Amino acid sequence: MKKLLSMVVIFCMVFILGACGSKEAGSEANGNTEDEKAKIKIEELNYQVNVEVDNGERYVMMKLTNNSKYVITNFELTYKAKKDVTNEQKNKFYDEIQKNFKFNEEDVNELKQKRVANATEQLKSKGYNVKLTDNVYKSDSRGCSSTGMERGKQFNELVSDKNVRAVFSAAGGDYLMEMLDYVDFEQFKNNPKWFQGFSDNTGLVYPIVTTCDVAAVYGCHIGDFGMNPWQKPVENALGVLEGKVKVQKSFDYYESQRHEYVTGYEGYYNDEKVSWVNGRGEEKIEISGRLLGGCLDVIAFLIGTKYDGTQQFVEKYKKDGIIWALESFNMEDVVLVTHLWQMKERGYFKHAKGFVFGRPLMYNSWIEQPYKEAIMSILGDLDVPVIFDADIGHKGPQFSIIEGALAKVSSTGGKGVLQYA
């Protein structure tokens, strides 16, 4: 609990005490030595919480005097946010922890593992059996759990397992493409099941949709199911897979920056208010068609490879039309513009009904060109609506986008709705 000065200000403490009942003369004479579950009143405890310095380190120190008739046998102390604490105070508090604790890579990995483990337990509590691949908790210096061949083999094994109905990504990873040569896409096509992931997992989602003609979900990793308690986006994510959630409404707030885990159980941070933007200032936009997209950073290097079946896909579903649901992780304006131009020139957008762009995580422009302006420089001459700052991708919370599914997207007054047919 060291270095947490602000904790005293914005958090209240909750005691959980275990105690043995006192042995009075009468009870012992009667042979009654059974411990009773004691309920110690808070008034019987004299405690002080102060900030103190020990060997140059700042600690939150608690001193406790037991004035009850019971012997305390165990003691648990937890912290809960006070009701009047603002989101700004919470975010500042967690940012200070990250800065002061100086988490190293090992600490971060431990918290991620803790989150995945809790996700497993949460899903089990809802009646699901959860199977983890052998290397899910491993990571080398590049952030890879194993070789491309091993990852491809593990994925194929999950696909061929008749007891597995859905496969989730554990995380993203710059080197996902190493496994593509070892993935049996033909087997997946003949034995389809849900696959869900986002960011670099576009490398699997996009080929599954465009070359196998099987729907896949661009949505949260398994780790998000490890937050406690679950927030609405995570409840929606499971509901979409179960077929119970067919309508998703834009959320109230989103994370404007990346936050590292402190406990491993954090939910989404409420940094900024969500506000969808209609590209040409329209009062209302409604787009109906078949969803397709993912992370532009990844789609860019799939273009023209055997894992890119976009031309066949958009031609097959030209009567439905395509709703492009896209987002970017880290693109400069020049890179963003050139890749959109490349996709446009290859005919990817010729049957587009409209575009929905998520909030970019990182975007830079040497000429200070706004994100919206950069995109409209390529898409502006297409006579279709364009929506920006939607709940898609890295700046969560995010929708669960069933790529390949028929849907309707609407946007008005800064709010948006995604509805599956």
Tokens of 68: 């009850």
pLDDT attached to residue 116: 93
Q: What is the mean pLDDT of residues 296-314?
A: 97
Domain ranges (residues) in the chain: 7-100, 105-420
Q: What is the mean pLDDT of residues 205-213?
A: 98
Residues contacting residue 242 through CB under 8 Å, at least 6 positions apart: none
pLDDT attached to residue 124: 96
The fold of 105-420 is Glucose Oxidase; domain 1 (3.50.30)
Q: What is the mean pLDDT of residues 398-417?
A: 98
pLDDT attached to residue 56: 63
| Confidence check: pLDDT of 96 > 80 | no
Q: Mean pLDDT lowest for which of 33-37, 261-265, 293-297? A: 33-37
| Confidence check: pLDDT of 12 > 60 | no
3-state SS string for the chain: CECCCCHHHHEEEEEEEEEECCCCHHHHHCCCCCCCCCCCCHHHEEEEEEEEEECCEEEEEEEEEECCCCEEEEEEEEEEECCCCCHHHHHHHHHHHHHHHCCCHHHHHHHHHHHHHHHHHHHHHCCCCCCCCCCCCCCCCCCCCCCHHHHHHHHHHHHHCCCCCEEECCCCCCCHHHHHHHCCHHHHHHCCCEEEECHHHHHHHHHHHHHHCCCEEECCCHHHHHCCCCCHHHHHHHHHHHCCCCEEECCCEECCCCCCCCCCCCCCCCCEECCCEECCCCCEEEEEEEEEEEEHHHHHHHCCCCCCCHHHHHHHCCCCCEEEEEECCEEEHHHHHHHHHHHHHCCCCCCEEEEEEECCCEEECCCCCCHHHHHHHHHCCCCCCEEEEECCCCCCCCCCEEECCEEEEEEECCEEEEEEC
Q: What is the mean pLDDT of residues 171-182?
A: 91
pLDDT attached to residue 145: 79
pLDDT attached to residue 380: 96
pLDDT band at 80 (very low <50, low <70, confident <90, very high): low
pLDDT band at 62 (very low <50, low <70, confident <90, very high): confident
- Pair 334, 368: CB distance under 8 Å: no
- Pair 368, 394: CB distance under 8 Å: no
| Confidence check: pLDDT of 40 > 80 | no
| Confidence check: pLDDT of 2 > 50 | no
The rounded distance, in Å, linking the Cα atoms of 92 and 70 is 40
Most confident of 67-76, 110-119, 278-287: 278-287
The rounded distance, in Å, linking the Cα atoms of 159 and 162 is 8
pLDDT attached to residue 139: 78
Length of the chain as a residue count? 421
| Confidence check: pLDDT of 10 > 60 | no
| Confidence check: pLDDT of 386 > 80 | yes
Higher-pLDDT residue of 265, 11: 265
Angle 351-357-359 (CA atoms, 0-180°, nearest 5)?
A: 170
pLDDT attached to residue 103: 61
Percentage of the chain modeled with pLDDT above 70: 83
pLDDT band at 327 (very low <50, low <70, confident <90, very high): very high
**pLDDT per residue over 333-365, tens digit each?**
999 999 999 999 999 999 999 999 999 999 999
Q: What is the mean pLDDT of residues 199-211?
A: 97
pLDDT attached to residue 31: 36
- Pair 207, 292: CB distance under 8 Å: no
pLDDT band at 190 (very low <50, low <70, confident <90, very high): very high
What mean pLDDT, rounded, does the chain reach?
86
| Confidence check: pLDDT of 11 > 70 | no
pLDDT band at 15 (very low <50, low <70, confident <90, very high): low
Higher-pLDDT residue of 400, 94: 400
pLDDT attached to residue 81: 65
Higher-pLDDT residue of 284, 9: 284
